[in-house]
Amino acid sequence: MPAPRKKIPGPPPAPESKEPRGILSTWMRLAFREAETVRGNTLPNPAVGAVLVRNGKVIGRGGTRPAGQAHAEIVALEGARVAPNGGLDRIRGATLYVTLEPCSHFGRTAPCARALIEAGVAKVVAACPDPNPKVSGKGFAMLRRAGITVEIAPPGSPARVRAETFYAGFFFWVANGRPRIIVKIAQSLDGRINARAGEETALTGEEARLFTHGLRAHADAVLVGGATVRIDDPDLTPRLTGGRPAQILVLTRGRKLDLKRQVYSRNRGAKTVVISPEIPQNLPKWVDHVALRRKKPLVRELLAVFAARGYHEVLVEGGRAVWSPFLNAGLCDALHLVTAPMLLPQGEPWGKDLRPAWVKPLEFHRFTPLGSDILAEFRRRSAAS
């Protein structure tokens, strides 16, 4: 039953989006594809995709350029302007499909909303509002004031849900001033991470691997310790799920890298960054280095590295020396604990270095079977976030 109409203060409610129910419209899907292609290259800005449509045809499209350069909307407008048969006449009356609210502020670039108004765009369909307080709601208001029809995908609609997943890290980063930190741990039924200390032990199966690759594709950076690199030699790219690889951060005390490890090999499409007190003697040209000063607690220093690199979401994959400081500091926003059906009484417990209070900020969310393994998801208690 429709709710009785009453006047509410604040900005006008979003008009019901014409986005088809149950599916993403073709245009919005294309916009997300544009956003996907630039993901990882725009930090600290969110990766936005925009598609300009006129008479059922795409006349311009694009994704956010690296920070300081053009936003997605501007790239799409430019494309339409310079296309064969392009020009302002074609843009006038067009509809823009965009994955995030067009900005209204002068930041490193001029407001996209103004550029859209000046180009004569008739309608803007956006997947979600921008949570950035400088923009939130103001971009839409600016467009509406200029007579542009604005449709915002309503909460729960496919476009909105897609945006909320895609921008989960960005939303968290705006609200909390630090990246969302996700910890993933694989354990045996008796809470061990290996059969014996220092041994590589395959614990979880293919489905759990697929799940982990999904986490990697979504994160901006994957953090691992030097021991994990040495013992397990992980590849750390989302090769099973596809998608853009996150940056790989290797936290180590070592002064010499074992360059045979996969994370150091060249041309993998993933950037590797070594974080250590001293520059390793054999640091390859294609690997970055960040010096640890060891003046502050490790997690504080790492948070500064995350901030400098503009990450919105970081996946902590282990091992114990890496996840324990985050868990002990209460700096874990989602914990994915994957349990394999085996007992390894001689192995090392994953929680050996944890203080009892580590668990306080987290609450159980759900179990999900992953083949013969089981995933337990814990999330930050909402009041504490």
Q: Which residues are catalytic?
A: 73
Select the binding partner of residue 107 from Zn ion, ligand AOF, none (C-beta < 5 to 8 A, by kind): ligand AOF
CA gap 48, 12 in Å, rounded: 24
Least distance to ligand AOF, CB of residue 180, Å: 16
Least distance to ligand AOF, CB of residue 42, Å: 6
CA gap 158, 125 in Å, rounded: 13
Size of the site for ligand AOF (CB under 6 A): 18
Strand partners, 340: 188
Instruction: Enter the tokens of residue 24.
Output: 């993403």
CA gap 169, 163 in Å, rounded: 11
HSE at residue 118, side-chain half, CA atoms within 13 A, is 11
- Binding of ligand AOF at residue 293 (CB under 6 A)? no
Pairing, β 149-152 against β 334-340: unpaired
Instruction: Please identify, using beta-carbon distances, which residue of 138 and 261 lies nearer to ligand AOF.
Output: 138
Of positions 39, 71, 213, 380, contacts Zn ion by CB under 5 A: 71
Dmax (CA) for the chain in angstroms is 73
> What is the x/- site pattern for ligand AOF, positions 33-72, by CB under 6 A?
------------xx-x---------------x--x---xx
Region for residue 351 given its phi and psi (left: phi exceeds 0; alpha: psi -120 to 50; beta: otherwise): alpha
Select the binding partner of residue 243 from ligand AOF, Zn ion, none (C-beta < 5 to 8 A, by kind): none
Instruction: Please identify, using beta-carbon distances, which residue of 105 and 271 lies nearer to ligand AOF.
Output: 105
Of positions 43, 121, 126, 135, contacts ligand AOF by CB under 6 A: 135
Reported in sequence order, the residue ranges of the chain that DSSP labels E, i.e. its strands, are 49-54, 57-63, 95-98, 123-126, 149-152, 180-188, 221-225, 247-251, 272-276, 287-291, 313-318, 334-340, 362-370, 373-380
CA gap 162, 168 in Å, rounded: 10
Least distance to ligand AOF, CB of residue 164, Å: 15
Select the binding partner of residue 48 from Zn ion, ligand AOF, none (C-beta < 5 to 8 A, by kind): ligand AOF
Of positions 36, 54, 78, 107, contacts ligand AOF by CB under 6 A: 107
Binders in 172-191 for ligand AOF, by CB under 6 A: none
Options 53-61, 99-107, 336-344, 354-362: segment touching Zn ion (CB under 5 A): 99-107
CA gap 229, 181 in Å, rounded: 20
Binders in 103-122 for Zn ion, by CB under 5 A: 103, 112
Instruction: Please identify, using beta-carbon distances, which residue of 134 and 253 lies nearer to Zn ion.
Output: 134
Select the binding partner of residue 72 from ligand AOF, Zn ion, none (C-beta < 5 to 8 A, by kind): ligand AOF
Select the binding partner of residue 135 from Zn ion, ligand AOF, none (C-beta < 5 to 8 A, by kind): ligand AOF
- Sheet with 247-251, strands from edge to edge, namely 287-291, 272-276, 247-251, 221-225, 313-318, 180-188, 334-340, 373-380, 362-370
CA gap 252, 261 in Å, rounded: 14
> What is the x/- site pattern for ligand AOF, positions 10-29, by CB under 6 A?
--------------------
Distances (CA, A) of 213 to 36, 108, 120: 16, 34, 43
Select the binding partner of residue 17 from Zn ion, ligand AOF, none (C-beta < 5 to 8 A, by kind): none
Select the binding partner of residue 45 from Zn ion, ligand AOF, none (C-beta < 5 to 8 A, by kind): ligand AOF
Least distance to ligand AOF, CB of residue 107, Å: 3
Place of tokens 């040495």: 230
Reported in sequence order, the residue ranges of 131-179 that DSSP labels E, i.e. its strands, are 149-152
Least distance to ligand AOF, CB of residue 41, Å: 11
Binding site for ligand AOF (CB under 6 A): 45-46, 48, 64, 67, 71-73, 100, 102-103, 107-109, 112, 130, 132, 135
Binding site for Zn ion (CB under 5 A): 71, 103, 112
